[in-house]
């Protein structure tokens, strides 16, 4: 059993750790409130934009849309991997890395074996983890999660769209944690290019005869990049809110565990103190008996 000095040191260290985890929990809770409000406001706009695009695309020839909807063989693939820059958020980053590795071993195994899969990471933790597993990682956008603003996200996604239209990639997917609530994040991988028409979109009535200005194709050619930029920005906001939620839950659990450790250390300290007192009393009694004898 450790002596009283060692136990006191452990108690002091645990109290300091508990104070840190409690403070981190409160900080994450504050940031989560702001991030969750941002993604909740963003979702209706993104969904409506997808709905408009889905209705227009149904009656438009894909050949006129520069290949946005062309479903070609995935020989060259780009995976956009969104994680965090910091840890202490449970399995938040590990789950994203695990999903990326699964995709490389299953859906894109042939492209990966031929070296035609590009991993572009947003967030340092995902890039560092994938590098440790031996993957080649593009870190050009790694700092995008530090300042999640719409202009930076739109510019980054536009460069991806341009590369796709030039034929550098046949498939573009994004892997991230989708925010559900403070305690729940849904790991998803969504295909961005070629564009997949949104499911369950409210279709326009066939009896409606709309007049388009300038024309339907021109509207879609402008609308599709806007929609893709918005979807990518929404993914960043989802990931940011999920990160704060995961960190808040992880720090709450760490604070509880520190409390359990403190109770165990204090019990051990009291036992050691009682044992020391009992030993001293026994020595005193033994000394008195020796003197009397």
Dihedral of alpha carbons 273, 275, 278, 282, sign = negative
Sheet holding 184-193, edge to edge: 137-138, 117-122, 77-82, 171-181, 184-193
Give the residue from 160, 155, 153 showing the smallest Cα distance to 138.
Answer: 160
- Residue 173 · residue 79 · CB < 8 Å: yes
Q: How far apart are CA 263 and CA 271, in angstroms?
A: 12
What is the longest distance spanned by two Cα atoms in the chain? 118
Instruction: State whether residue 290 is helix, strand or coil.
Output: helix
Distance, in Å, from the CA atom of 80 to the CA atom of 77, rounded to the nearest integer, reads 10
Q: Which of 89, 175, 220, 246 is catalytic?
A: 89
Catalytic annotation on 89?
yes
Catalytic residues: 89
């Amino acid at each position: 059993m450790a002596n009283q000095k060692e136990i006191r040191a452990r108690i002091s260290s645990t109290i300091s750790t508990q104070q840190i985890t409690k403070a981190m929990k409160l900080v994450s809770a504050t940031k989560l409130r702001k991030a969750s409000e941002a993604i909740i406001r963003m979702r209706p706009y993104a969904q409506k934009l997808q709905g408009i695009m889905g209705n227009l695309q149904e009656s438009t020839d894909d050949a006129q849309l520069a290949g946005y909807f062309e479903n070609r063989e995935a020989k060259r693939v780009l995976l956009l991997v969104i994680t965090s820059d910091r840890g202490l958020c449970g399995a938040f980053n590990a789950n994203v890395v695990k999903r990326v590795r699964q995709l490389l071993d299953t859906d894109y195994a042939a492209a990966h074996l031929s070296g035609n899969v590009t991993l572009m990471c947003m967030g340092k933790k995902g890039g560092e983890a994938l590098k440790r597993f031996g993957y080649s990682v593009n870190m050009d956008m790694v700092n995008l999660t530090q300042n999640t603003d719409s202009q930076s996200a739109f510019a980054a996604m536009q460069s991806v769209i341009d590369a796709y239209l030039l034929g550098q990639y046949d498939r573009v997917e994004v892997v991230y944690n989708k925010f559900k609530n403070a305690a729940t994040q849904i790991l998803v991988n969504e295909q961005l290019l070629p564009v997949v028409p949104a499911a369950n979109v409210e279709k326009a009535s066939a009896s409606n005869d709309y007049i388009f200005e300038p024309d339907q194709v021109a509207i879609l050619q402008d609308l599709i990049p806007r929609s893709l930029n918005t979807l990518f920005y929404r993914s960043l906001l989802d990931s940011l809110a999920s990160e704060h939620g995961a960190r808040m839950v992880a720090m709450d659990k760490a604070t509880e565990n520190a409390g359990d450790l403190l109770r165990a250390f204090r019990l051990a300290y009291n036992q050691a103190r009682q044992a020391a007192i009992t030993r001293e009393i026994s020595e005193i009694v033994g000394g008195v008996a020796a003197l009397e004898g």
